[in-house]
Amino acid sequence: MGRLMKTFSVAAALLCALLLPGLVSAQSVISGTVTDETGEPLIGANVLIRSLTIGASTDIDGNYTFQVPAANLGQTLELSAVYIGYTDEVRTITIGEGIMTQDFVLAADLLQLDEFVVTGVAEATPRKKLAFTVSQVGSEEITLAPASNPVASIQGKVAGVAVQARSGTPGDAISVRLRGATSITGSNQPLYIVDGVVLGANQVDIDALDIENVEIVKGAAASSLYGSRAQNGVINITTQRGGAIPLNQTRVTVRNEYGVSGVAKSFQANTSHDLRVDGSGNFLDDSGAKNECSTCLSNGYGPGTLQDTNPHGAAFYDNPYQGTLYNAFDQFFNPGNTWTNYVGVSQNSSKTNFLASFTNVVEQGAIQGLSGLQRRNVRVNLDHRIRPTLTLSTSGFYSQSKNDAVTSSLASNSNINPFFGLMFTNPLVNLSAEDEAGGLKVQADPLAVEENPLYVIENADMNQDRSRILGNFRARWSPLDWMDLESNFSYDRSDRDELEFYDIGFETIDPSSLNDGRIERRNSVSEAINYDVTASFRKRFGSFTTRAQLKAQVEDFDSFSEFVLGTDIVTLGISDLSNVETEGEKVFGNGSSTVRSEGYYATAGMDYADKYIVDVFFRRDGSSLFGAEERWQSYYRGSAAWRVSEEDFWPANSPVTELKLRASIGTAGGRPSFQAQYETLSLSNGQLSKSTLGNAFLKPELQTETEIGLDMGVLDRIFIELVYADTEVEDLLLRVPLAGYYGFSTQWRNAGNLASNTVEASVSANIYNSRDMDFEVGVIFDRTRQEITEFHSNPYLGGPQSLFFYREGEILGSMYGNKFITELSELPRGADASYFDVNDDGYVVAVGQGNSYTSGPGADGVLGGEDDLWGTAVAVGENSYRWGIPIKYYDATDETDRVQIADALPDFSIGLNSTFRYKGLTLYMLWGAQIGGDVYNFTKQWSYRDGRNADQDQGSKQEDMKKSTTYYEVLYDATAKNSHFVEDATYIKLRELSVGYTLNRRQLSRIFGNVLHSVSASIIGRNLLTFSDYSGFDPEVGSGSDATLYRVDSFNYPPFRTIRAKLEFQF
């Protein structure tokens, strides 16, 4: 057998020797190597002739080879060598017979100026030729420490971008604001585009691991291309399509992550009280005996206890609780598991490339008893080049998610917020204590008026199910070398099903309709269909390169929602509406909307010798959302750039290797809401009443932005970008109150202007780069100021907790309320300052002549006697003040006690990222900081009601430094908004951390051959460290329609820290 095989091998070799010359002479073979500037082979680099859709990728030694059909002999063609992170090299070659050797040495593109941008431009454009700002976040920056919501992955990486989760609830939506606010009543959310699909719903359900890059267009100077939908900017997400892997290869990626999520900060409530106790710590009743009641704790705590006061009626939280104490926060919050399973298969050939992936995400969150978010996604992306001039592309995506939520977003809003009850729990109380039936007690705290938060979590169901379908089909034809025709169809459908369910026997402290059971279901469906046709033209005339584009676009958006509410349930445990006792206990409602829009634009651009760049643009938009008399609106852009470093006079050896000055002005719009233009009526008890007067002249909001920028590259290692953007938003949409003779209460009008300006700076530097080691650093800085310049309506307070003042000349983001006096000069006119002192909290308090704020215990220095000053009054002229109690400021000039108490906008924000690589080791960190800006801590204010906040604990203070319960009651002020609960939101935060090691193909081939491409393992952390003086869970907190602007802490689910381990195999 061995002799036979040897004979066969010799014969085969002789046959090849005879035939090979004939094969070589019949066609051309191109071969060679691709290396970097140090001579290191670049494994997986693509070498191709694009016009013929043929090529090959380099092997483990950097070698490549491929054949050119005989029909192309004698032709002059372009041969390209491409490798991610390196500058492409293109050569013009003439195809000859035999073997042609073409070796490439690629230079590292450290500044990434040759990266192409596709958002806001007529066609893909290198960064170095942009005349306006388009920021990019690449796949590696996202996947090093991925978030469950991919939009969160841009936080701290792009200047001028504010990202804020409305809560820490797994899967909850995220607020994003690009530069300044653009609307008061509308959304500030940017327009989201995923693989050419303009999303009809803002929630982004895709997976971070599928993303190729994210492009961010921040203002109208660049986003005008998208017309009346783009005044808030654009976030364009491109997912992987398999085209980035080496030619003629299939890549399989299997990635698993597992970790835990927990609240990063804990609290301890006030551990002292103001009640009467005996020497053993038992609580006393009015007879002086141990308090007894049916719900009391064993030490007598419960109804019937009495406040321990001095002879003047003042009490103090200075009696330490005795016995076993519990931390309600530690009982409520419980680290949950989180894991991600990802499988992706991609392939790339000269004619076809694709990606197919599946992702399973589970994020339990940080609350005991909740399963959190469960999401499964499937994606298929495919490109096929039928011929060099015709390409078909398609993308398909399906997502299904379930969320076991803390609270419900349903319209009835009957749900009980567990965070509210959590803040009022006495440290003597065990939230996990069971009743006689073995269940959790609904009133774990005998004096509580809010339900046990753990009982609510266990017995109320708040479920949200969601599915999402995204589809896109695109055909691109190049009939001429200077013209492209493209047609694009996209589809987005979002289905939401929400359930709020209270079973029979659900207990509440006070009688409620929930006790007999309650079911509410809501279903909402939205569909967005977009179709466009584009013609693109480009032509080179000597040193002039020209380009132009025409586009027509049609948009259809339909939505439908319905809800059913039923009470009085018949059978235990069934949440179907057929379980409601009679039809009389069911309430129904529904709504629908249809929007039709069209858009047409033309754009033209030119650059001369890669030095002078000009771009002009005009768009015409029509929409059914505009008033009948304002159906069509126009938008424009003009931009120019000068690459000074390309001039002949620029020194060849200058350390500044790239210098570009640029300016752009553009307009974009913000559409009215669906109902704004229409006359609306309300129906109540069978009676119709007029509500909103229609407006046929209603226009979209109009943003005009002027942007000036400077881009500079230094030593081919450092890239600096400086930007100033000035924005004016006209025709703000406001709901204006009407006089009685109109017969309607309000009308939507274009009734205001809003101005803002933003300064941005970005620096990226490759500090060190060699074959084995690389160190990169990036820094961003931004500062935004905004003001309402016109307001043709009655000034009013709005936003969360009605804290924000809307009027002409007002800073958008300023908060108003009562202010407690902190300077003696702020005392009422005529008040003798010698009667007052400034206490250790910084407040001016009345103390009487000759006294100080430490004189409260009287001459004996001990509280509780007749000589106490706490509880007494201080007469100052004709006025009387309570001793030691803060005093509210009154503005006599404006005759008001409501003044500005805070500004939500930070002084500035910065971000710092660094990536260090040594051989297979990678260390990545992202730090973020906000300097200045305020948060209103409404959660803390409520906790003052029952004396539960640690601020109120006087147990460890000296007698002369103690403050009475009345002191804190005045600050609480029945939740009236005041300056005491305004806190500095300054922070420094370690947002992301990743430490990992990768074994590459060369290392693995020694053991596994060519089976494994790479194996990597890492530890990933998010939201790891926060340095701040903020007393709440986290200074990054917000509420309302825009959490980046409305910085109010209002019983939010706190953000949590996540630590995960990752293991990834690529085959």
Q: How far apart are CA 363 and CA 1007, in angstroms?
A: 36
Query: 395, 210 in Cβ contact below 8 A?
Result: no
Share of the chain above pLDDT 70, in %: 96
3-state DSSP of 185-245: CCCCCCEEEECCEECCCCCCCCCHHHEEEEEEECCHHHHHHHHHHCCCCEEEEEECCCCCC
Q: Is the pLDDT of residue 544 over 60?
A: yes
Residue 798 Cα distances to 703, 847, 981, 1046, angstroms: 23, 37, 18, 10
Alpha helices by DSSP H, 432-494: 453-459
Find tokens 């841009």 and name the residue. 154
pLDDT band at 26 (very low <50, low <70, confident <90, very high): low
What was the pLDDT predicted at 843?
98
Quick one: which of 1054, 1043, 1055, 1051 has its CA closest to 799? Answer: 1043
Give the separation between CA 1025 and CA 75, rounded to whole angstroms.
Answer: 61
- The tokens describing 280, both together, are 């053993």
CB atoms within 10 A of CB 972: 22
Of 20-24, 321-325, 768-772, the range with the highest mean pLDDT is: 321-325
pLDDT at 369: 86
The mean pLDDT value for 74-103 works out to: 90
Residue range 423-450: average pLDDT? 92
- Per the prediction, the chain carries an average pLDDT of 92
> Which residue carries 């650093």 as its tokens?
777
Instruction: Tell me how far apart the alpha carbons of residues 1008 and 1029 are, in angstroms, rounded to a whole number.
Output: 53
In the prediction, which pLDDT does 15 show?
Answer: 37
Average pLDDT, integer, range 986-998: 97
Angstrom distance (rounded) from CA 948 to CA 327: 12
Number of residues that make up the chain: 1067
Confidence of residue 1006 (pLDDT cuts 50, 70, 90): confident
pLDDT tens sequence across 467-504 = 999 999 999 999 998 999 999 999 999 999 999 999 99
Q: What is the pLDDT of residues 438-451, one digit of tens each?
A: 999 999 999 999 99
Which residue is associated with the tokens 């019937």?
A: 304
pLDDT at 462 over 70: yes
Query: For the segment 568-605, what is each residue's pLDDT rounded down to a tens digit?
Result: 888 998 988 888 887 657 888 889 999 999 999 999 99
Map residue 906 onto helix, strand or coil.
Answer: coil
467 three-class SS:
strand
Distance CA 765, CA 775 (A): 9
Q: Which residues pair with residue 422 across a beta bridge?
A: none
Q: Is the pLDDT of residue 861 over 80?
A: yes
Mean pLDDT of 994-1005: 92
Q: What average pLDDT does this structure show over 322-327?
A: 93
**Which backbone phi and psi does 943 adopt, to 5 degrees?**
-65, -20
Return d(Cα 273, Cα 605) in angstroms, integer.
Answer: 73
* Per-residue tokens: 588: 């129904």
Please spell the DSSP secondary structure of 775-819, one letter per residue: EEEEEEEEEEEEEEEEE-S--EEESGGG-EEESTT-BTTEEEEB-
pLDDT grade for 11, boundaries at 50, 70 and 90: very low
User: How many helices (H) and strands (E) are present in the chain, helices listed first?
Assistant: 9, 56
Which pLDDT band, with edges at 50, 70 and 90, does 920 fall under? Answer: very high
| 20 pLDDT above the threshold of 70 | no
Q: What is the DSSP string of 363-414?
A: E--SBTT--EEEEEEEEEEEEEEEETTEEEEEEEEEEEEEEE-SS---TT--
Q: What is the mean pLDDT of residues 368-395?
A: 94
Residue 560 β-bridge partners: 525, 592
Q: β-pairing, 211-217 with 234-239?
A: antiparallel
Are 388 and 415 in contact by the 8 Å Cβ rule? The answer is no
Q: Which amino acid is at 308?
A: D
Encode burial over 887-919: b for 16+ CB neighbours within 10 A, e otherwise. Answer: bebbeeeeeeebeebbbbbbebbbbbbbbbbee
Per-residue model confidence as pLDDT tens digits over 607-658: 999 999 999 999 999 999 999 999 999 999 999 999 999 999 999 899 999 9
Q: What pLDDT, on a 0 to 100 scale, did the predictor assign at position 583? A: 60
1022, 145 Cβ separation under 8 angstroms? yes
Residue 413 has pLDDT above 60, yes or no: no
Among residues 821, 973, 841, the alpha carbon closest in space to that of 890 is found at 821
- What per-residue confidence (pLDDT) applies to 202? 67
If you ran DSSP here, which 8-state letter would residue 1055 be given?
P
- DSSP-derived pairing of the beta strands 98-101 and 28-36: parallel
Enumerate residues 6+ apart whose C-beta is below 8 A from 93: 30, 76, 77, 78, 79, 100, 102
Neighbours of 505 (CB within 10 A): 12
Burial class (CB in 10 A: 0-12, 13-18, 19+), 826: middle
Rounded CA-CA distance 674/768 in Å is: 54
Say if residues 615 and 638 touch (Cβ distance below 8 Å).
yes
Q: What mean pLDDT do residues 75-103 have?
A: 90
Mind spelling out the 3-state secondary structure of 763-782? EEEEEEECCCEEEEEEEEEE
The lowest-confidence range among 423-427, 548-552, 565-569, 598-602 is 565-569
Q: Which residues contact 993 (CB under 8 A, 6 or more apart)?
A: 145, 924, 925, 926, 1019, 1020, 1021, 1022, 1024
Are the C-beta atoms of residues 599 and 626 closer than 8 Å to each other?
no
Label residue 21 by pLDDT band (50, 70, 90): very low
Q: Taking Cα atoms as reference points, which of 711, 808, 707, 734 lies closest to residue 180? A: 707
Q: Has residue 5 got a pLDDT over 70?
A: no
Q: Which domains does the chain have, with CATH numbers?
A: 2-106 (2.60.40.1120), 116-240 (2.170.130.10)
Sign of the CA dihedral 839, 844, 847, 849? positive
DSSP-derived letter for residue 673 is: P
Residue holding tokens 């469906």? 525
Task: Report the DSSP beta bridge partners of residue 662.
Answer: 641, 709
Q: Residue 775's pLDDT is what?
A: 96
Q: C-alpha 103: how far from its chain's center?
A: 46
- Give the percent of the chain with pLDDT over 90: 77
CA atoms within 13 A on the CB side of 217: 32
The residues near 258 (Cβ < 8 Å, ≥ 6 apart) are 337, 338, 339, 1060, 1061
Of 42-46, 314-318, 470-474, 725-729, the poorest mean pLDDT is in 42-46
Per-residue pLDDT reduced to its tens digit, 693-707: 999 999 999 999 999
What's the mean pLDDT in 196-206?
81
Q: What is the pLDDT of residue 687?
A: 80
Distance separating alpha carbons of residues 285 and 291, to the nearest angstrom: 5
CA quadruple 969, 973, 979, 984: dihedral positive or negative? positive
Write out pLDDT tens, residues 119-144. 888 778 888 899 999 999 999 999 99
Q: What are phi and psi of 482, to 5 degrees?
A: -110, 10
In 3D space, the residue among 662, 830, 894 whose CA is nearest the CA of residue 127 turns out to be: 662
pTM over 0.85? The answer is yes
Q: pLDDT tens-digit profile of 212-226?
A: 999 999 989 889 999
Angstrom distances, CA of residue 647 to CA of 113, 129, 421, 428, 651: 18, 15, 68, 77, 9
Dihedrals φ, ψ of 18, to 5°? Answer: -75, -35
Supply the pLDDT for residue 10.
37
Looking at 8-12, 189-193, 461-465, 737-741, which range is the least confident one? 8-12
Q: 724 by DSSP, 3-state: which?
A: strand
DSSP label at residue 2: H
Residue 190: is its pLDDT beyond 60? yes
pLDDT confidence of residue 25: 45
**Amino acid at position 546, single letter:** T
> How confident is the model at residue 37, as a pLDDT?
86
* Contact criterion met (CB below 8 Å) for 705 and 669: no
Residue 340 in contact with residue 1063, Cβ under 8 Å? Answer: no
Pick the closest to residue 473 from 551, 515, 520, 529 (CA basis): 529
917 to each of 331, 922, 923, 990, 1064, how far by Cα in Å?
Answer: 42, 5, 6, 19, 18
